[in-house]
Structures are given as structure tokens and as C-alpha cells.
Amino acid sequence: MVTISDSQLQPVTVSVARTVQPGRTRQASAWAHAGQELAREWPGYLGSGWVRSAPDSNEWHMLYRFANADMLNDWEQSDERRWWIDSAADLVEVTQIERRTGIEGWFAQPGDVQLSVPETVIPPRWKQMVSIFLPFFPLSLLANFLLHPLTQEWPLAFQVLLATCLLTPLMTYVFLPVTTRLLGPWLRKKR
């Protein structure tokens, strides 16, 4: 008869101290965020984040938490995590790893003062739709007004194709970034 110990059923928090190469803070932040996004989709994931011992410190304490030891092990042995870790070979160096069970795993060590990345808040679809509509409607109207004299004799499919080819990059690289920045507090407001 196989018995499961209480420790195998408890949530597990892993704290990994990593030293970020000097001048690579922005890349390390993006790398850590990518790891959060990968882990977020994994069964048993309960959350993650990282802290720095001082605002200018190169030592980061990265935390991730899973529902139990087996689910944590599945994540740690996954191809996704292996790829993510390998992608930072020249960016960070692991200096210490600790595993904690129970609630104490989420409490910061003395001296930890800065939480670098909060969990991502994904806006509801209707807010995403509004943030796309606001720049797209006037831009589409303007494009049709300006292009119509040049393309009125064209078949409709070619008119739409030209407008789409012109508007897609403008929306992607100019108007949507500006709109989401301006609407940011409203888009990220928790429900």
C-alpha cells in the first residue's frame, strides 16, 4: 500500500537566488516575465514573482509556488522550463535554491524591499474591443476618405486589401500602443 505524506500534498514554494549580469536588468526582467507566463499555464501553478534586496542590487530572489511537490516536479522537468532556463545562460547565474512548504514560503527574507513584477491583469474582452475600436474607427474613416479618390474604380476586394495593408502596421506599431498606454489604468483595473 502506497501512502502519501502530508508534505507531498502541501503547496511548495521555490526561492531561487540569481545574480543578474551588470547592465542586463531590463533583459532579466523580460526573461523573468516570460518564465511567469510559461509557468502560469502549468497545472498546479499558484503564483510567482521576484524581489531584489535593494533597488540597485544584481541579486534577485525569484519565487514560484505550486500546489504540491509532484506538480512542481512536472514543471521543473518540463521542456518549456528547460528552454526558458537555457535562454538565460549568459544573463543570470544561480547562486542558491531553497524549497519551502506551507505558507511561510511567501514571506520575504529580511532586506527584501522591492517586488519587481506584479501578476499580469488581462483586461476583459469587451475592454480590449473598446481599446481597438477607438483608434480603428477614425483611422479607417480617414483612410477610406483619402484613398477613395485613388481607388474608386478598383474592385472592392483590392480597395479593402490596400486599406488593410496600410492600416495594420499603423494600428500595430503606432495607434494600439498609444491607446493601451492612455487607457492603461482602465484596462488593468481589477474586476
Determine the average pLDDT of the residues in 126-130.
89
Please write the tens of the pLDDT for every residue from 1-13: 445 555 466 788 8
Residue span(s) of the chain under CATH 3.30.70.100 come to 10-115
pTM of the complete model: 0.49
Q: Specify the pLDDT at position 156.
A: 93
117 near 34, Cβ under 8 Å?
A: no
What's the rounded Cα separation, in Å, for the pair 65 and 14?
6
- What is the average pLDDT score of the chain? 80
- pLDDT band, residue 25 (cuts 50/70/90): confident
Determine the average pLDDT of the residues in 124-149.
92
Q: Kindly report the CATH class assigned to 10-115.
A: alpha beta
Q: Specify the pLDDT at position 121.
A: 59
